[in-house]
Amino acid sequence: MAIQRTFSIIKPDATKRNLTGAIVAKFEEAGLRVIASKRIQMTLAQAQVFYGVHKDRPFFGELCDFMISEPVVVQVLEGENAIAKNREIMGATNPADAAPGTIRAEFALSVGENSVHGSDAPETAAAEIAYFFSGLELVG
């Protein structure tokens, strides 16, 4: 098993409801370690670049508006198979399909307000981490 790093965002719907600690606890209980974390107010420009892969999709504007509506917590998680483990802990994008005990099953309000984002591949994780964190901020 390989030690990996992955990127995570605790989204506006969760920070607004003070769920940051409960969500971080789920990551840590599953064996992931938070090696970098900061609470930020994402700008529209940051959201548009970060979610640029979706720029031609009908929900792009709504997604960007949502992501700048409240502060978010961006973080780097580390552990064995961190990318897959993080995605398992998050649960399905649609909370109605998310397994019991997952973050989205417990905390998501809807498909759009689903409390968390997580990288889907090593390349994505590396790019997403670099977008929000400098190497000096990553303390493992």
- Binding-site residues for ATP sit at 11, 59, 87, 93, 104, 114
User: For residue 94, what are its two tokens?
Assistant: 């649609």
Q: Catalytic residue at 54? A: no
Residue ranges for the binding site? 11, 59, 87, 93, 104, 114
Q: Are 20 and 26 in contact (CB under 8 A)?
A: no
In angstroms, the CA 47 to CA 28 distance is 27
Collapsed DSSP state (helix, strand, coil) of residue 40: strand
C-alpha distance from residue 66 to each of 52, 53, 61 (Å): 15, 16, 9
Q: Are 104 and 114 in contact (CB under 8 A)?
A: yes
- From the candidates 5, 26, 85, 117, give the one annotated as an active-site residue: 117
Q: Are 10 and 72 in contact (CB under 8 A)?
A: yes
Q: For residue 21, give the amino acid letter.
A: G
| Residues noted as catalytic | 117
